[in-house]
Amino acid sequence: MILFVPIMGRRKYYMRWKPGIGVLFFLFLGCAKSFDGPTPDPMSVSPSRGWTGADVRLVITGTGFSPMVKNTLSGNESVVLPEVYLESIPETALTVVFSSTTEIHAVVSAGAPVGGPYDLKVINPNGKYGILPSAYTVTENPLITVSSIYPNFGWTGAETLVTISGNGFKSTPSAYLETESGNPSYLENVSFISSTSLSAIVPSGLPVGGPYKLVVINPDGDAGVLENAFTITLNPLLRLTL
């Protein structure tokens, strides 16, 4: 038996009813509401401030965050993450690198407009959004001092243990080199020694060049920069000990 079933909408469309697809069709109609998805509710962001001269990584917590898997039928699956914005003028789009239903990791890129505290908006792939009022402030000047890094060079083929000196460090900062690509290359195993000293590892495999800028960011978002700080060499260099 073949029936013609009207499909809702402003215009009337009809589909041929076949027993094999009938149950699936009505299951789709009955579940259509569930595809609407949740509304995000951002509740907190850490840190709540950051210097405009540095990339600052944020952790946003809340409920209803809804990453979406697409292209499941084609076999080329990909995940669409929620979008995050600071309600500055102009609006500032954050780079989202991770999302679960309760936590988002995003980066405020260097150059964000100074001011705030700005509202923070989270938009799910379904178009629904939530706002955290007065969430994040962008500061004009660095609030910590980075005075030196030793050694100030390393071979791209090996890790390099370094000591970073300065003032105003808090347990435990993140640190990165700004390479020629403009993307941050994060140092590993950053250890807080004191408010004036850190240790860290420059990972292997970084692009040859420099001297690159070194940026240190405290957990509260305060940051400092050392220009022309570290060089990556193509070949290993011998260190002579007298």
What the block records as the tokens of 53 is: 């001269």
* Prior bond of 151 cis (ω within 30°): yes
Higher pLDDT, 46 or 20: 46
**Mapping DSSP to helix (H, G, I), strand (E, B) and coil, where does residue 142 land?**
coil
Residue 242: which pLDDT band, with cuts at 50, 70 and 90? low
Q: Is the pLDDT of residue 10 over 70?
A: no
pLDDT for 162 equals: 98
pTM over 0.85: no
Nearest to 84 by CA among 125, 117, 54: 125
DSSP string of 37-77, one letter each residue: -PPPEEEEEESSEEETTS-EEEEEEEE----EEE-TTTT--
Q: Is the pLDDT of residue 77 over 90?
A: no
Over residues 22-27, the mean pLDDT reads 44
Q: Is the pLDDT of residue 28 over 90?
A: no
Question: Any alpha helices (H) in the chain, and if so which ranges?
Answer: 19-31
The amino acid occupying position 120 is L
End-to-end CA gap in the chain:
95
Kindly tell me the sign of the dihedral angle through the C-alpha atoms of 49, 54, 185, 98.
Answer: positive
Determine the longest span between alpha carbons in the chain, in angstroms. Answer: 95
pLDDT for 216 equals: 96
Question: How many degrees, rounded to 5, is the angle at CA 143 between CA 151 and CA 135?
Answer: 125
Residue 27: which pLDDT band, with cuts at 50, 70 and 90? very low
- Domains within the chain, CATH numbers bracketed: 41-139 (2.60.40.10), 145-233 (2.60.40.10)
- Report percent pLDDT > 70 for the chain: 80
pLDDT for 181 equals: 76
Burial, 177: exposed, middle or buried (Cβ in 10 Å; 0-12, 13-18, 19+)? buried
